[in-house]
Amino acid sequence: MGQCVETPRQCVETPRQCVETLRWHVYSQQYCFTVASLSIHMASRSGTAVFEILAVFLVVYAIQFVTAFAGLVGLLFVLTPPVTESPWTAITSVYAHGGPSHLLSNAVALVLFGWPVARATTRVRFHLFFLATGSLAGISQILVSDWLTILPVVGTTPSVGVIGASGGVFALLGYLLASNRLSSSVAGSIDVPAGVSALVFVVVAAVLTWATASPGAALIAHFTGLLLGLLAGWVNLLADSHPQRDAQAAV
């Protein structure tokens, strides 16, 4: 390629050699572009996001420990009714925890359920999905439990506050269940109406929520997170296009 640029007269005299040289240069540039794209793609589809969230857990828990002396934990990290009174807690409560055992259980579940999902999507999408589902799950715990108090048969009491990443973790579990290859193959081989599929997801979410229930757990948040994850996995919400295909299309 250097000879073609520096001595254009030689290209005129030996056009075939110059064309071959130009073709080799173009192919090498396309190869470098493809390798670079794949490297970026592999880096963005790593499990780094899981470790980043774990780091946020630890940092937030340390801040909770410090602010507890000033009595600010509830104001800064606990989502309480009405949700519009301290709207920032819809975000901060997702990364806060009620104690070491609470933190440890959510951290283990995050690694188990989040690692495969993080490997199949980008860091940005993983973070946004975890935060959005966790926030919605917490808000649903506050609102739905308040609404259920109107029904005397249910016998529920309003939630005084929500804290923890369980909603986002259950969403990752739901996404993992609905988006894996086995589930996709079964769903693709059976023609099921969308309404029936949604009903199945509701039932599955209810059963798994009941099966994993424990004293003091925010069951409505668990159910909401799991249902959101199942629906998101059903439509492969976190799937992204492969850059190798984009590079080949550009060629």
User: Could you read off the pLDDT of 106-142 as tens digits, one per residue?
Assistant: 999 999 999 999 999 999 999 999 999 999 999 999 9
Q: Is 182 helix (H, G, I), strand (E, B) or coil?
A: helix
Answering whether pTM is above 0.85, one says no
Question: Is 158 in contact with 152 (CB distance < 8 Å)?
Answer: no
Domain ranges of the chain: 2-42, 47-234
CB half-sphere exposure, 234, CA atoms < 13 A: 18
**Rounded to the nearest 5°, which phi and psi values hold at 79?**
-80, 115
Res 150: pLDDT:
74
CATH 1.10.260.40 for domain 47-234: no
> pLDDT tens for residues 15-47?
555 555 545 554 455 444 333 333 334 445 678
**pLDDT at residue 17, as a whole number:** 57
- Whether residue 82 has a cis bond before it, omega within 30° of 0: yes
Picking from 159, 122, 155, the residue whose alpha carbon sits closest to that of residue 144 is 159
User: What is the average pLDDT across 131-159?
Assistant: 82
Q: Which of 61, 72, 52, 71 lies closest to 118 in space, CA to CA?
A: 52
pLDDT at 64: 97
**Lookup: tokens for 160:** 């005084």
Instruction: Please state the rounded mean pLDDT for residues 216-236.
Output: 90
pLDDT on residue 160:
81
pLDDT band at 101 (very low <50, low <70, confident <90, very high): very high
Q: Which residues, 6+ apart, have CB-to-CB distance to 167 below 8 Å?
A: 94, 133, 134, 135, 136, 137, 138, 141, 218, 221, 222, 224, 225
- For helices 166-179 and 219-234, the axis angle rounded to 10 degrees is 30
Lowest mean pLDDT among 54-68, 136-150, 236-250: 236-250
Q: Are 28 and 81 in contact (CB under 8 A)?
A: no
The per-residue pLDDT for 147 is 83
Q: Which residue has the higher pLDDT, 83 or 183?
A: 83
Lowest mean pLDDT among 31-35, 59-63, 91-95, 188-192: 31-35
Alpha-carbon separation of residue 95 from 11, 167, 172, 174 (angstroms):
64, 11, 15, 19
Which pLDDT score, from 0 to 100, does residue 43 have? 47
Q: Is the pLDDT of residue 211 over 60?
A: yes
What is the DSSP-derived secondary structure letter of residue 247?
H
DSSP H or E segment with residue 103: helix 100-119
Helix-helix angle 194-211:166-179, to 10 degrees: 130
Q: Rounded distance, CA 176 to CA 233, Å? A: 7
Q: Residue for token digits 């739901």?
A: 174
Residue 29 neighbours by CB distance under 10 Å: 11
